[in-house]
């Protein structure tokens, strides 16, 4: 399997927030890319990229759950960020689609009335 995705620039931030090393975060990133490629059969596209990020956050959360915390504050759960971003982008797409349909229907009604007259 060819790995066509470079690690995201936010990866060190995710590692710091999760309390893991940058090297471990990079290994988890590569694993997420590999799993997403295996599951989707693709190396690009929104489904693939979405799954890569989802798998990365799940792997980071699994890793931090298995590492002793040594009386430190627990690492934050990061999947909420991805799910929230996904919901917000879907709302934007739905709004654009509804606007397009509204204008399409409005023009169709206007054009239909002019033809009937």
**Cβ–Cβ under 8 Å, residues 19 and 64:** yes
Say what percent of the chain tops pLDDT 90: 18
More confident residue, 8 or 83: 8
- Say whether pLDDT at 27 is over 90: yes
Examine the domain organization and report whether 32 and 56 are in the same domain: yes
64 & 95 share domain? no
Average pLDDT of the residues of the chain = 80
The answer to whether residues 60 and 15 belong to one domain is yes
Q: Can you give the residue range of the structural domain that contains 85?
A: 79-117
- Rounded Cα–Cα distance for residues 67 and 43 (Å): 31
Q: Who has greater pLDDT, 112 or 54?
A: 54
Compute the chain's Rg from CA coordinates: 22
CA 48 – CA 41 distance, rounded (Å): 9
On the question of pLDDT at 101 being above 60, the answer is yes
Q: What region, left, alpha or beta, does residue 5 occupy, with left being phi > 0 and alpha being psi -120 to 50 degrees?
A: beta
Residues 8 and 64 in one domain: yes
| C-alpha span between 84 and 65 (Å, rounded) | 22
Mean of pLDDT values over 97-116: 84
pLDDT class of 117 with cuts at 50, 70, 90: low
Residues in CB range of 22: below 8 A, 6 or more apart = 11, 12, 15
pTM, two decimal places: 0.53
d(CA 87, CA 33): 22
């Amino acid at each position: 399997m060819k790995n066509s995705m470079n690690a995201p620039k936010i990866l060190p931030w995710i590692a710091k927030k999760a309390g893991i090393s940058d090297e471990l975060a990079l290994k988890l990133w590569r694993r997420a890319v590999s799993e997403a490629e295996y599951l989707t059969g693709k190396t690009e596209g929104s489904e693939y990229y979405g799954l890569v990020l989802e798998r990365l956050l799940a792997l980071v959360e699994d890793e931090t759950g298995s590492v002793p915390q040594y009386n430190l504050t627990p690492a934050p759960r990061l999947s909420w960020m991805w799910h929230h971003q996904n919901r917000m982008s879907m709302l934007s797409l739905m709004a654009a689609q509804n606007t397009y349909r509204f204008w399409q229907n409005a023009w169709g009604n206007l054009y239909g009335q002019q033809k009937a007259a």
